[in-house]
Structure 1
Amino acid sequence: MADKLVEQIVDVVVDKIFEADPSRVKVGISNRHVHLCDADFRTLFGYEAPQVYKMVRQRGEFAAKESVTVVGPKGRFERVRVMGPNRSATQVELSATDARALGVKAPMAQSGQLAQAAPVTIIGPEGQVECEHAAIIAGRHIHMSPSDAAALRLEDQDRVSVQFDGDRAARLDNFLVRVKDSYLLELHLDTDEGNAVSARSGDWALILGK
C-alpha cells in the first residue's frame, strides 16, 4: 500500500514538472471508435443522444455507453465505442490494421475530412446505416490552445515532430497542430502507432518543433 502511494505521488510530481514545460505533451492512444450524426444515432438506437460513460481529456467530449458493430467487405468489429456528443457527420476512425481487417481502403485524413472516406455499414440495436463516406485513418495530431501554440511559436495546421522515450524510443514526424480555445494540450496516436513506440495513454512526449 505504501509503495503504491509513493508511486502515485511521484506520478503527480512528474506531471506537474512536465506541465510547466510547454514542449511536453500528454499522450492519448485512440482505439477504433465512431462519431455519429443525430439522424444516424436515432436510426441505430431509437433515441436522441448518447449517454455519458466516461469523460475524456478534451472538454465536452466523452466515451458513450453505446456501442455499435462496424461491417466491411471482409470482416466486422463488434462493440465499437460511440464517442459523444453527436457530430454533423458520421465518422468511423480506424487504425491501418483495422482497415485491412475490414477490407476497406480508408484514407489517412484529418477528422471531418470525409470526401474520400471509405464506405462501411454500422449496425445498432434498433437499425443500421449504410455510410458511403465514413471510415478514415485519423492522421496523428496534437490538440492545443492558442496560448499553448503561442508558447511553442506554432499555428493551427502547422506540422511538427515529436520524440518518444522508452525501450522503443523514436521520433515521429508530421503531427498536425490543431488549435482551438477549448482544447487542452494532448497528442493523439492510433493503436498501431502507439504500439510501434510503446506509448500508452498518460505518457509524456516531447514536441521538437517544425
Structure 2
Amino acid sequence: MSEAQLISTIVERVVARFNEADPTKVIVGISNRHVHLTDADFATLFGYDRPVVKKYVRQHGEFAAEESVTIHGPKGSFQRVRVMGPNRSATQVELSRTDCRALGLDAPMAQSGHLSEAAPIEIEGPEGRVALDHAAIVAGRHIHMGPADAEALGLKDQDRVSVVFPGERGGRFDNFLVRVKDSYLLELHLDTDEANAIGAKTGDYVTICPR
C-alpha cells in the first residue's frame, strides 16, 4: 500500500467512526441486480453444493460469490448476474425497475423474502437451468439495524422513516422500511435506479430524519 493509499484509508476510517457515533447517520450500500439461491437450485445450476466466497459484504456472514448466472425474461437476458451467499430457503432475484423493463417483467416491489406475488423468471448456470414461477422482485428501499440502533432512534421493526441524502443531486427519500434483527449492522440499501437519481454511492453516509 502506498503512502497516499494509507492516508486515504486512515481518513476513511476516522470519518466512519465519527459518523457511526451519531445514531442518525447510516452508511449506504447500493444493490445491483443479484440472485439468492436455494441449495437445490444452486446444485442444479452449478453441479456442486455451495457458493464460493468472492467478497464478504457488511452484513454478518453474507457475501458476493464467485459464481454468476444468466437470467432470462420474456424480452431479454442479463449475463454475469452475481450470486449472493450463503444459500437461502427460497430463490430470489432482485432487480431494479429499469432491469425489469429490459427483461419484459412486471415484478412487484416487495420486501426480501415476500415472494407470493413475485414475477416468473428463468435462471441459467453452467450446468443447468431453472424456471421459477415466483422469484423476481424489485426490493423496496430499507435500512438494516440492530436492536440497539433501533432503540437509540426510537424505532422498531417494520417502521418507515425518511432519509436525507447530501450532494448536488441530494434530497429526501421517504418510506424506508426499518428491518431490525440481532445480527444486523446499521446499513441502508438502495437499488441502482434510486442511487443514480439522488447521486448516492456505496460508502456514503446519509441522515435518518427525526420522527
On whether the aligned pair clears a TM of 0.5, the verdict is: yes
Give, in whole Å, the separation in 2 of the partners of 1:150 and 1:206: 16
Give, in whole Å, the separation in 2 of the partners of 1:28 and 1:18: 15
The equivalent of 1:81 in structure 2 is: 82
The equivalent of 1:100 in structure 2 is: 101
Give, in whole Å, the separation in 1 of the partners of 2:87 and 2:4: 42
**Counterpart AA for 1:35:** H
Residues 50, 5 of structure 1: alpha-carbon distance in 2 compared, 3 angstrom cutoff:
closer
Give, in whole Å, the separation in 2 of the partners of 1:150 and 1:109: 25
The equivalent of 1:140 in structure 2 is: 141
How is 1:1-210 mapped onto 2 (pairs within 5 angstroms)?
3-210=4-211
Per the alignment, in what secondary structure is the counterpart of residue 105 of structure 1? coil
Q: Deviations over 1:172-207 (max 9, x none)?
A: 000000000000000000000011111110000000
**Counterpart AA for 2:96:** S
Give, in whole Å, the separation in 2 of the partners of 1:186 and 1:113: 20
Give, in whole Å, the separation in 1 of the partners of 2:9 and 2:39: 41
Provide TM-score, normalisation by structure 2.
0.97
Residues 52, 3 of structure 1: alpha-carbon distance in 2 compared, 3 angstrom cutoff:
closer
Per the alignment, in what secondary structure is the counterpart of residue 37 of structure 2? strand
Give, in whole Å, the separation in 2 of the partners of 1:115 and 1:179: 22
* Unaligned stretches of 5+ residues in structure 1: none
Give, in whole Å, the separation in 2 of the partners of 1:12 and 1:4: 12
Per the alignment, in what secondary structure is the counterpart of residue 200 of structure 1? coil
Please state how far the C-alpha of 1:2 moved relative to its aligned partner: 5.1
- % identical aligned pairs: 69
Q: Deviations over 1:97-151 (max 9, x none)?
A: 0000000000000000001100010000000000100000000000000000000
Provide TM-score, normalisation by structure 1.
0.97
Give, in whole Å, the separation in 1 of the partners of 2:31 and 2:65: 14
When structure 1 is superposed on structure 2, of 56-65 and 5-14 the one drifting more is 5-14
Aligned length: 210
Please state how far the C-alpha of 1:6 moved relative to its aligned partner: 3.8
* Unaligned stretches of 5+ residues in structure 2: none
Give, in whole Å, the separation in 2 of the partners of 1:177 and 1:30: 17
**Counterpart AA for 1:122:** I
